[in-house]
Amino acid sequence: MKKSIIIGLLTCGIIFSFWTFSKNTNVDSNIMKLQQDNYKYIYLTFDDGPLNGSQRIDDVILIEKLPVTVMLVGEHALAKPQYLELYRENEYIEIGNHSYSHANNHYQLYYSNPAGVLKDFIRNMNTLKLTNKIGRLPGRNMWRVNGRSRNDISSGIEAADLLSKNGFALFGWDLEWMHDSHTAEPIGTAEDIFKEIEERLSDDRVFTNSHIVLLCHDEMFQHTYEESELKKLIDLLNSKSDYKLSHLKDYP
């Protein structure tokens, strides 16, 4: 009888200990999740490469060892294969699809043929040997991500829908670091862009709360001054303990 009571008490103790451990583990897990949810995620993206400026972006990212995404154009990659190889060899750089032709800069005509747009993206995917389907439409700020969508203008909607149906995740941008169309020099300093990032995250003026996609262009960083502005922005972002740089593949 006493032996049975002792065994029963031991069994209860083991069950209670396991329950307490499980409960504490769940609490710790929830705390970790909450801590992760408190981060604000920054996605640095660079369009239209490879171009003059790609080398400097590659150099900065190798030094800083931070994830960025480059949206490449097939025709540009064939013209500058040496820069394409730099990007491929850089483990911190994620390569996305920005079409093969960049619409030849005739966007209205390009988007009047949605099937042609799909074909152009598939051609670029094959040219660059991409294993992902992360993309951005040329000349359009349109989103098709995880069942959610947003359009800037009507031209391009059918093409975006068709690409999405064929498995492409299309990313627009929440903020663009503008540049001069003639000189390609950045408009605004790193401090200006950092302030705008903070304000948009604070006001939730983004496609997804606590996530902001910044659009830059490869050609912006052809000279030492522009390269240093990119470094300055990265330093400012790193100064915030609740900011995290990420690849677009990790976008929710």
Q: 132-185: per-residue pLDDT in tens? A: 999 999 999 999 999 999 999 999 999 999 999 999 999 999 999 999 989 999
- Domain shared by 57 and 19, yes or no: no
185 and 107 both lie in a single domain: yes
Structure tokens at 13: 């103790």
What is the torsional sign of CA 157, 161, 92, 240?
A: positive
Same domain, 54 and 101: yes
How many structural domains comprise the chain?
A: 2
Question: What predicted TM-score, i.e. pTM, was given to this entire model?
Answer: 0.85
**Any residues with CB less than 8 A from the CB of 54 and at least 6 apart, and which?**
70, 80, 83, 86, 87, 218
One domain for residues 89 and 22: no
Contact between 130 and 160 (Cβ < 8 Å): no
* Residue 17 and residue 108 share a domain: no
53: helix, coil or strand?
coil
Range of the domain at 57: 40-250
Claim to verify: residue 129 and residue 183 sit in the same structural domain: yes
Give the per-residue pLDDT at 17: 44
Instruction: Reply yes or no on whether the pLDDT at 25 is more than 50.
Output: no
Together in a domain, 127 and 19: no
pLDDT of residue 36: 53
Q: What percent of the chain has pLDDT over 90?
A: 83
Q: Find the CATH number of the domain harbouring 151.
A: 3.20.20.370
Q: What is the pLDDT of residues 195-211, one digit of tens each?
A: 999 999 999 999 999 99
Question: Is the domain of 178 the same as that of 207?
Answer: yes
In a shared domain, residues 107 and 232? yes
Does residue 13 register a pLDDT over 80? no
b/e sequence 123-153, b meaning 16+ C-beta within 10 Å: ebbebbebebbbbbbbbbbbbbbeeebebee
Same-domain status, 24 and 46: no
pLDDT band at 24 (very low <50, low <70, confident <90, very high): very low
Is there a single domain that holds both residue 97 and residue 146? yes
Do 129 and 27 lie in a common domain? no
